[in-house]
Amino acid sequence: MIRVTVWNEYVHEKTDKNVADIYPSGIHGAIAEFLGKEEDIVVRTATLDDENCGITKEVLDSTDVLIWWGHVAHHKVPDEIAYMVRDAVLEGMGLICLHSAHHSKPFRYLLGTSCNLTWRETNDGEILWVIEPSHPITRGIDRYFKLPAEETYGEPFVIPTPDKLLLIGNYSGGEVFRSGCLYERGNGKIFYFQPGHESYPTFYVPEVQTIIKNAVRFVNPIYREEIGCPHVRKITDEGSYVI
């Protein structure tokens, strides 16, 4: 079983009735609901208001894939928790950052850039174009799919060039955006996926759910171990290797 923890700052849903109406059990609840129906996935959730933000070493050690949604409260996540998440990814834990988690501390600390972008909330429609149709994360998605309305995110998106770019978003207002970006950091895989503004029902869209489910399976670690920096002897000293 793939052990998934869905982390959500869970602020908008408690302060904005429109968002609460769309996600009555929170964005984390909506994501956990569709993931929990998968036979090979077990899900739990964590939020900012939980003790320790719901993130402890024990939680991370028993998490194969961490999904992160945050927006207005990135600064309320203590640095030491963000560094714990970063270090767990470097060991091999998978990380999926959704939408405005482009500015979350774990994502920025792993990528090392500002992760700034341009944005606008004007109910633009979006077409998400699959540019890597053979990739496991885009399996089951046609050439493109449409979202009737999303927050517009535009370039320049200040990220390192992705190891693999899987999706490009194109908005009715004209912008394009690198909407599905894959990275490897240490032993861990990171997937950034752009859709998911809180005031739209994006996480109920079948294609969005398919991509998140595929991403969980793809970033699930096959090897997890801290990469240390040991002083080592010559292998010839060990008696089993002769040139």
Is 126 among the residues that bind Zn ion (CB under 5 A)?
Answer: no
**Least distance between Zn ion and beta carbon 97 (Å):** 13
Size of the site for Zn ion (CB under 5 A): 3
**Residue whose structure tokens are 């939980």:** 50
Site string for Zn ion, 192-221 (x = CB under 5 A): -----x------------------------
The residue type found at 34 is: F
Q: How many angstroms separate the CA atoms of 22 and 1, rounded?
A: 30
Give the residue among 32, 73, 82 at the shortest CA–CA distance from 52.
82
Looking from the CA of 80 toward its CB, the CA atoms found within 13 Å total: 4
Is 74 among the residues that bind Zn ion (CB under 5 A)?
Answer: no
Contacts to Zn ion from residues 91-110, by CB under 5 A = 100
Show the tokens assigned to 19. 């968002």
Residue 52: alpha-carbon gap to chain centroid:
20
Q: Phi and psi for 149 in degrees, rounded to 5? A: -155, 135
**Residue whose structure tokens are 């699930």:** 220
Please answer whether residues 55 and 46 qualify as being in contact, where contact means their C-beta atoms are separated by less than 8 angstroms: yes
Site string for Zn ion, 150-169 (x = CB under 5 A): -x------------------
**Least distance between Zn ion and beta carbon 80 (Å):** 26
**Least distance between Zn ion and beta carbon 8 (Å):** 13
Q: Which residue is nearest to Zn ion (CB)?
A: 197
Site string for Zn ion, 22-61 (x = CB under 5 A): ----------------------------------------
Binding site for Zn ion (CB under 5 A): 100, 151, 197
